[in-house]
Amino acid sequence: MTATVSVRLFGAFRDLAPAAVVELPLPDDASVATLRAALEAHGRGHWPAFQPGLLAVSVFASAERVLREHEPVPRDGELAVLPPVSGG
């Protein structure tokens, strides 16, 4: 089964999509690594300014925590891709 997940975009990724969110079709049992590959394919196909190198140093997260690469993508709640941070 495949369902669409929404991934929120922040920082430099925010400039790639006006709504700051991207919808990606993903198998139900997809891991975070699979989500990463799907976002990379989407970026290369749709966003001329997409930087694969920035994605490589980014992580995926829920509203609660940063996700591990090999865990399944959680299907409840928010998802986001986080480029390197620079708060403060």
Partner 1 sequence: MSMADALACAIADAAAGALPDPAVALRHVAAPGFGGTALFVGTIRDLNHGRAVVGVSYDLYDALALNVFRRACEEAAAAFGPAIRLYVAHARGRLAVGEVAVVVAAGTPHRDEAFRACRAVIEAVKHQAPIWKQEHYADGDSAWSEGCSLCGGDAHAAPVPAGPA
Residues 35, 25: Cα–Cα separation, whole Å: 9
Tell me how many degrees the CA angle 79-86-55 measures, rounded to the nearest 5. Answer: 45
| 3-state secondary structure at position 44 | helix
24 vs 32, beta carbon nearer partner 1: 32
Q: Contacts with partner 1 in 9-68 (CB under 8 A)?
A: 10-12, 14, 32-33, 36, 40, 52-53, 55-59, 61-68
The pair of three-digit structure tokens given for residue 13, joined into one six-digit string: 């990724």
Q: How many residues bind partner 1 (CB under 8 A)?
A: 35
Residues in touch with partner 1 (CB under 8 A):
8, 10-12, 14, 32-33, 36, 40, 52-53, 55-59, 61-70, 78, 80, 82-88
